[in-house]
Amino acid sequence: MFDFIRIQHPDPISEQDLDEMERQYDLQIPSILRDFYFSCNGCDMHPIVYPFNHQLFTVMHFLPVLSGWMSADHILELYTLSGRISRGFWPLATSENGDDFYLDTRKNQVYLLSYDHPDAMVLAAYSIEDFFQRLDRSFALRKDDNNPMKSLLELDYFSDFDQNK
């Protein structure tokens, strides 16, 4: 899993760091996401286009925790206090247009939230596990074809993914 990672973020994260984030922001980080952060605290990645619910989503970059000017902790601090995001939402990654993917840790669902219209949430994956699987599968298809959009659209790709749920 996590084949889509290109360059791992250099700053390690500890279990205690994640435990503190959970306490501070009243959320529960799923074990697969903890494992992701332990293996690569955020990452530079190959941009991935994946289908979900008859839409295409593009993930450009995973946000690190506790490092960088736009880290998950910084976003939580700014956006939770200002009311831009609900408690229990964890910032995951950025899209091609600057909107962010969030995990609703209470429902274990991934949403794309528009920076300009944070109330307009779009469901982007059934769960964090589903999100990672879609990224890995889309990356694998992309490696097999020079044109990632062709791979997505020529195959009956949408129904292949969405029948799993």
- Taking only the tens place, the pLDDT of each residue in 125-139 is 999 999 999 998 888
Contact 89, 107 (CB under 8 A): no
Arithmetic mean of pLDDT, 86-108: 91
Return the closest-CA partner of residue 50 out of 41, 42, 40, 60: 60
Instruction: Report the number of distinct structural domains present in the chain.
Output: 1
Residue 65 domain boundaries? 5-162
Greater confidence (127 vs 4) lies with: 127
Return the closest-CA partner of residue 152 out of 59, 58, 50, 54: 50
Q: What pLDDT was estimated at residue 4? A: 67
Query: Which tokens hold the place of 73?
Result: 């902790």
Q: Is the pLDDT of residue 145 over 90?
A: no
Residue 136's beta-bridge partner residues?
none
Q: Report the C-alpha gap between 34 and 13 in whole angstroms.
A: 9
Q: With cut-offs at 50, 70 and 90, classify the pLDDT of residue 15.
A: very high
**pLDDT tens, residue by residue, 28-79:** 999 999 988 888 877 767 788 999 999 999 998 888 887 766 788 888 888 8
Report the SS3 class of residue 82. helix
Backbone angles phi, psi at 145, to 5 degrees: -145, 140
Greater confidence (38 vs 112) lies with: 112
Residue 147 maps to which CATH number? 3.40.1580.10
Q: Report the C-alpha gap between 159 and 145 in whole angstroms.
A: 20
Q: Report the C-alpha gap between 97 and 99 in whole angstroms.
A: 6
Q: What pLDDT was estimated at residue 72? A: 84
